[in-house]
Structure 1
């Protein structure tokens, strides 16, 4: 089990994503580069967390915990609270519905993002495969 959030959790996510042929196939035309995820503190965990994922043609080339998102070139930034990220990782929260309800803030070209909805859904599916333990459980 890997603590969420942590670098070990990110590393395991990359291992699972790298071995997923379907993910690579669906995302093979992704050439937009990096994605940053930001977890903001909430009532369940008073901790913030930022991660950078460099994605090229459906493969995660680099993934790491970062301090300052301004130091990275990211096509998209996804920002929400610990509770929403936890729900996504557990497969209990649909990130598309969370976005539509304003629970996830997205910076970047939404039109491009919509073109890659199958890739995003598959990547979310991969997130749920990481054996995860949460600090509030």
Structure 2
């Protein structure tokens, strides 16, 4: 069972997303890559977890786990999304709504947020796919 957050978890999630026809259909036409930062929190996550994701044709074409948030500068992602570990965990568990998290700035998005909000109608697809990934959270 992969630990969240980790390279193993990210690669397992990518494999599930890339194998799901509904997710692929929902992602078609998307433009822009993502820099994701799961911020460290005392007693929960000791160091930031950072990943760069490049979608293409509804699939995750490339995933890189990086050592530091500043490493994202090399990629110049269209979107940088960051939040404390507990917010990301809540998103995965379904206790945090992604739209509400963006609007309340619990999930901080650098980049044009409008296309992300327009695609939120697909959030249930993502939740369904990621729910199939058995996850052990690092703070449990």
Task: Establish whether TM, by shorter chain, passes 0.5.
Answer: yes
Aligned partners of 2:101 and 2:107 also within 8 Å: yes
TM-score (norm 1): 0.89
Relative to its length, the structure with more helix (as a share) is 2
CA distance in structure 2 between the partners assigned to 1:52 and 1:126 by the alignment: 20
Q: Which residue of the partner structure matches residue 87 of structure 1?
A: 90
Distance 1:36 1:130 in 2: 22
* Deviation (angstroms), 1:76: 0.9
In the alignment, the residues of structure 2 paired with residue 104 and residue 58 of structure 1 have an alpha-carbon distance, to the nearest angstrom, of 23
Instruction: Indicate the residue corresponding to 1:13 in structure 2.
Output: 13
Over aligned residue pairs, what C-alpha RMSD do you find? Answer: 1.6
Query: Could you list the runs of 5+ residues in structure 1 that have no partner in the other structure?
Result: none
Alignment partner of 2:139: what SS?
coil
Contact 2:99 2:117 (8 Å CA) reproduced:
no
What is the TM-score with the length of structure 2 in the denominator?
Answer: 0.87
How many residue pairs get matched?
136
CA shift, 1:12, in A, is: 0.3
Q: Flag the 1:69–1:10 CA change in 2: closer, same or farther, 3 A.
A: same
Change in CA separation of 1:77 and 1:121 when aligned onto 2, cut-off 3 Å: farther
| Displacement of 1:106 | 0.2
Q: What is the deviation of 1:134? A: 1.1
Gaps of 5+ in 2: none
Measure, in 2, the Cα distance between the counterparts of 1:128 and 1:75.
Answer: 27
Alignment check: 8 A CA contact 2:99 2:120 kept: no
Taking the aligned partners of 1:47 and 1:61, their CA distance within structure 2 comes to 26
